[in-house]
């Protein structure tokens, strides 16, 4: 099969064997999205070699266990963490924290920038007919945004600032707004701020404008990916408020910790999230993703797609 293979930081289109794992389902990938993690993998983060890609939609073509045969022909998305099944984290239902976990296209397991992948059936979620492939490819990042709602109580009375006008910021703002919360997206780029407004999200340029207006938020979600993101978030949150960190920053330096103590701020790290509410939000049109896709192309145009993912919004591979 055709696949993008990452080898010591070099990505190339190659001919790879169709994967086969006992006990798992074989999925033909129809579309796969490039996200910030993929860009980081190319830079050497996580020391991953193999086929990257973890945001996908596909169709189950084969099932090695008889009890999984009903999945064959089903259009699916997939939870990307595969736990050992026996450790404390796995038994607590938190396989994303299993120390022996594999993560699709990120850690010890080939991913979705290929014609086929395999996953256990317990990782699969059927995609409703009302969610087209180009929206289904966003389920994993929308699920990551939904994780915030599992960690922090957010409702119509909550004043929330989402920092960052990238893919994640625009998804998080929509997911949080779906709770009825008063959401302000703080962005850097005028075109992204306008895009957020067209999605019905109140958006302003730069956190400074929010600070100048004396705004203090109950919840600040940091999704800028910038080294000083946490420091900026601490300037926006009210005393006893919460800051959720969504971007993985590897060169964040040392942010000042005294405001966390003085203002009794809760800092929450947030990663992978639940697929079912994400699919539901997409199916009900509460999260709109059409205008986030700026490039759809085949695997052979991977250089252009990765460039677009770096500078534009969402680049998606149409694979089969
Ligand atoms: Zn991702
Ligand atoms: Zn485990």
pLDDT at 272 over 90: yes
Instruction: Quickly state the pLDDT bin for 159 (edges 50, 70, 90).
Output: very high
Residue 207: strand, helix, or coil? helix
Q: How far apart are CA 2 and CA 255, in angstroms?
A: 44
Instruction: Quickly state the pLDDT bin for 250 (edges 50, 70, 90).
Output: confident
Cα(98) to ligand 2 centroid in Å equals: 4
Which residue has tokens 């596909």?
Answer: 58
Q: What is the pLDDT of residues 142-154, one digit of tens each?
A: 999 999 999 999 9
What is the model's pLDDT at position 227? 87
Which of the ligands is closest to the CA of residue 90?
A: 2
Q: How far apart are CA 269 and CA 264, in angstroms?
A: 16
What is the model's pLDDT at position 252? 65
Measured over the CA atoms of residue 85, residue 89, residue 94 and residue 95, the dihedral's sign is negative
What is the model's pLDDT at position 165? 95
Average pLDDT over residues 169-194: 96
Q: What is the pLDDT of residues 200-221, one digit of tens each?
A: 999 999 877 766 677 799 999 9
Q: How far apart are CA 57 and CA 294, in angstroms?
A: 18
Q: How far apart are CA 200 and CA 210, in angstroms?
A: 18
pLDDT at 196 over 80: yes
Which of the ligands is closest to the CA of residue 98?
A: 2
What is the model's pLDDT at position 13? 97
Q: Which residues surround the ion ligand 1 when the cut-off is CB under 5 Å?
A: 35, 37
Instruction: Quickly state the pLDDT bin for 305 (edges 50, 70, 90).
Output: very high
């Amino acid at each position: 099969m055709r696949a993008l293979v990452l080898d010591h930081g070099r990505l190339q289109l190659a001919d790879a064997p169709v994967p086969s794992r006992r006990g798992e389902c074989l999925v033909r990938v129809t579309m796969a999205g490039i996200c910030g993690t993929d860009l980081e993998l190319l830079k050497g983060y996580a020391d991953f070699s193999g086929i990257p890609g973890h945001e996908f939609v596909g169709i189950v073509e084969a099932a090695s266990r008889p009890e999984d045969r009903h999945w064959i022909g089903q259009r699916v998305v997939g939870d990307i963490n595969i736990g050992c099944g026996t450790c404390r984290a796995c038994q607590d239902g938190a396989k994303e924290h299993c120390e022996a976990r594999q993560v699709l296209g990120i850690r010890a397991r080939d991913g979705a920038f290929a014609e086929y992948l395999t996953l256990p059936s317990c990782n699969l979620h059927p995609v409703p007919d009302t969610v087209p492939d180009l929206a289904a490819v966003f389920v994993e990042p929308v699920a990551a945004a939904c994780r915030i709602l599992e960690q922090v109580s957010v409702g119509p009375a909550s004043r929330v600032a989402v920092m960052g006008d990238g893919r994640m910021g625009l998804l998080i703002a929509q997911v949080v707004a779906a709770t009825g919360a008063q959401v302000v997206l703080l962005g850097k780029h005028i075109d992204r701020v306008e895009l957020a407004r067209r999605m019905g999200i109140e958006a302003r340029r730069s956190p400074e404008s929010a600070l100048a207006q004396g705004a203090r938020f109950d919840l600040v979600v940091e999704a800028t990916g910038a080294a000083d993101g946490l420091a900026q978030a601490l300037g926006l949150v009210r005393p006893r408020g919460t800051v959720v960190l969504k971007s993985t920053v590897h060169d964040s330096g040392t942010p000042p910790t005294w405001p966390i103590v003085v203002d009794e701020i809760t800092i929450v790290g947030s990663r992978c999230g639940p697929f079912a509410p994400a699919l539901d939000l997409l199916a009900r049109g509460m999260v709109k993703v059409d205008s986030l896709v700026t490039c759809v192309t085949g695997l052979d145009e991977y250089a252009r797609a990765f460039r677009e993912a770096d500078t534009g919004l969402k680049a998606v591979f149409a694979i089969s």
